Amino acid sequence: MRIFIDKQSPKAFHALLQTSEAVRAVAAEAGLDRTVVELINLRVSQINGCAYCLDTHTKAAVREGETAQRLGVLAAWRDTEAFSPTERAALALAETTTHPTDAVAQEAAYQAARHVLTDDQISAAIWVAVTINAFNRVSIMSKHPVRANRGAPGEESGVTVTGG
């Protein structure tokens, strides 16, 4: 069984939580609504395969009014018209932040974002992606559990650990 590094090193995890709070504030100040932030959190968590963060941020997106259809097609967002230009630009930045080694894709995402997002929004979207990538690593390396939701639709699952 792995140690939960958030519990083992609470000062470091608390600093990450503080960073996350600051990033949420920056995103709000830049005009990125909470739905866009949750879409970034979900897309990065999909790429990284972080079940705990997917569970956490799916619930958060639903609380913000996100639809089952959009959540269902998020992994293929480029192949649908369900996402706004702002959301598409933010998602492209999130993906290239998660896989920064593809310089061509990175430059294309950045240039496309410049046509849709302000400099503050670009910065905020990248910071959201950076932060959720860090939370993904904490939860993946700790193997934070996600328990099956046995309640009514929309009820919280039996997740017992803080993370993502």
SS3 11: helix
Phi-psi region for residue 65, left (φ > 0), alpha (ψ -120 to 50) or beta?
left
Residues with Cβ within 8 Å of residue 98, at least 6 apart in sequence? 44, 47, 48, 129, 133
Share of the chain above pLDDT 90, in %: 88
Which pair of tokens denotes residue 69? 């259809």
Mean pLDDT of 27-48: 98
Average pLDDT over residues 19-37: 97
Cα separation, 157 vs 85, in Å, equals 33
Distance CA 155, CA 7 (A): 26
Is residue 136 within 8 A of residue 47, CB to CB? The reply is no
pTM of this structure? 0.89
Mean predicted confidence (pLDDT) in 16-21: 98
Calculate the alpha carbon distances from 153 to 2, 14, 90, 156, 157 in Å: 31, 32, 29, 9, 10
The pLDDT tens digits for 78-134 are 999 999 999 999 999 999 999 999 999 999 999 999 999 999 999 999 999 999 999
For residue 141, pLDDT over 90 is answered with yes
Res 153 pLDDT > 70? no
Average pLDDT, the chain: 92
- In order of their start, the domains of the chain are 12-142 (1.20.1290.10)
Q: At residue 154, does pLDDT exceed 70?
A: no
